[in-house]
Structure 1
Amino acid sequence: MSTLIQKLHPALYLGRRLALAGGRQPLFSRQGVWDSGSALHCVAMALAMLGRLSDPVDVRGYSGGPVAQFWNRAWPHYLHGLTPSELASFVWELNAGVHPIEVKGSADETLHFCGQELAAGWPVIVWIVNRRNEERHAALAIGLEERDSVPKALLLLDPAGATPVLAACNARLEPGKPHASYITAEANVRASLHGAVSIRRPQENDATSAGCA
């Protein structure tokens, strides 16, 4: 009998509502209908998972401190969004005690990179491309699904998707030929990847970043 295992980031607490393991702070930051800030929502969640942002949900509700500083830097990009390279620069400029590692390559290379980073405890932001209409948006990789030790799917938090209830993710990316499948509660679309950015704590060894652009 085959074995299916989901390996999730250790910062997650699974309850009725997805939260951070430490103080049970709600994690999921949902994107609005009009904005293009999916990557910014992903950064907020990633920073919270790394202990660098206390509240990734109500970032506009603070008048001072790191959360307010994050929002002050984020809002000018909120309507037009960020590419992987732009997001990497944005994370550097936050001075939040983390650094970004960007990867460019094929879908298989990107998925391999995501698996390495998640195994090391680093959340990864990936850009999903709908191959039907070429629309792209960002989602946060928070886990990996394996069957008999073979990676089968990347588990994601999609800011544009439904709030996870009794679950760790609201989307999944399943590799395949000639295209990957991006699966949510609402749809199953043909997809490809357009880069990824891992967010790490700087004191850790960067050996896994070899070959990244």
Structure 2
Amino acid sequence: MGFVVQRLHPFIRPGVILGAARTKNAVHSQQSRWDSACAIHCLVMLLSICGLVADPSQIATRRRRLEATLWHKTAEIFQKGMTFSKLAAFIDELGCGLRTKLLERGSHREIVGFIEEELARGLLVIGSIRPVGDTQSHAVVVIGVEGFQASRQFEAHTLLILDPAEGPPAAMATCNARLHYRDGKSRRLPRYAAYSTISTAFPVVLNGAVAVGVGRPEKSP
């Protein structure tokens, strides 16, 4: 007999407010409807999960080097956004000891495989999704997977996501968006994935990803 389970990144702390190890603050960072800074919002959430940023909601008021650098970059890309190659380079430049692995402009199936592999290795992933029929991509943080567990075999079918354009995790508890990419009937992946939030659902493709390797979570500053 099998059952559905969720496998979250070990630094994630589920609860009424989705948090991270060694911090009581929420890790979600809310993107406005006007800006194109989704990649930086995702990076701030990832840094919060790693214990390198104390409170994502206070980035604009902090004067520590890391927060100040993030706020400056947010202002720089507010309207035009950021490519994943530039995001990976920016993470390396922060000097936080984070390791990056980039897969940019891959096919949907290639990106799915990349994300599955990197999550299994214990890395966090910032993924790029594009609604089918649209030309605009959007960055999200992948914090875990959901799948079907039968005996010792686990078959993942859904990515658990923190989407900066959505509200804080509440109704979904461990995430605020889900990307269902495998139906379980075939080993072959469909061309599109089903993306759902608390208020909407639509088909998407994954078209890029940056995996970020971290050590043990640092105590929040």
Instruction: Please report the TM-score for the alignment, with normalisation by the length of structure 2.
Output: 0.85
Q: How many residues align?
A: 203
| Equivalent residue, structure 2, for 1:186 | 199
Deviations 1:108-144 (A, max 9, x none): 2212221222223221000110113232101000001
Q: Structure 1 regions of 5+ residues with no counterpart?
A: 204-213
* Structure 1 residues 74 and 96: alpha-carbon distance in aligned structure 2, compared to 1, 3 A threshold: farther
Pairing partner for 1:150 from 149, 155, 160: 155
1:23 Cα deviation (Å)?
2.2
Identical residues among aligned pairs (%): 33
Pairing partner for 1:163 from 158, 164, 168: 168
**In 1, distance between residues paired with 2:12 and 2:72?**
26
SS in structure 1 at match of 2:135: coil
SS in structure 2 at match of 1:57: helix
Q: Structure 2 regions of 5+ residues with no counterpart?
A: 183-189, 217-221
Alignment of 1:63-212 (within 5 A): 63-104=63-104, 105-148=106-149, 149-165=154-170, 167-176=173-182, 177-201=190-214
Moved over 6 A (4+): none
Alignment of 1:2-13 (within 5 A): 2-13=2-13
SS in structure 1 at match of 2:113: helix
**In 2, distance between residues paired with 1:40 and 1:171?**
18
**In 2, distance between residues paired with 1:94 and 1:32?**
24
Contact residue 52 and residue 97 of structure 1 kept, 8 A: no
Alignment of 1:3-42 (within 5 A): 3-42=3-42
**In 2, distance between residues paired with 1:14 and 1:116?**
23
Kindly report the root-mean-square deviation, in angstroms, between the aligned alpha carbons of the 2 structures: 1.9
**In 1, distance between residues paired with 2:214 and 2:174?**
23
* Structure 1 residues 165 and 202: alpha-carbon distance in aligned structure 2, compared to 1, 3 A threshold: closer
Contact residue 23 and residue 54 of structure 2 kept, 8 A: no
* Structure 1 residues 175 and 82: alpha-carbon distance in aligned structure 2, compared to 1, 3 A threshold: same
Instruction: Please report the TM-score for the alignment, with normalisation by the length of structure 1.
Output: 0.87
SS in structure 2 at match of 1:54: coil
1:54 Cα deviation (Å)?
2.3
* Structure 1 residues 23 and 8: alpha-carbon distance in aligned structure 2, compared to 1, 3 A threshold: same
Contact residue 13 and residue 24 of structure 1 kept, 8 A: no
SS in structure 1 at match of 2:2: coil
More relative contact order, 1 or 2 (CA 8 Å, 6+ apart):
2
**In 2, distance between residues paired with 1:111 and 1:117?**
10
- 1:50 maps to a residue whose letter is C
Contact residue 19 and residue 25 of structure 1 kept, 8 A: yes
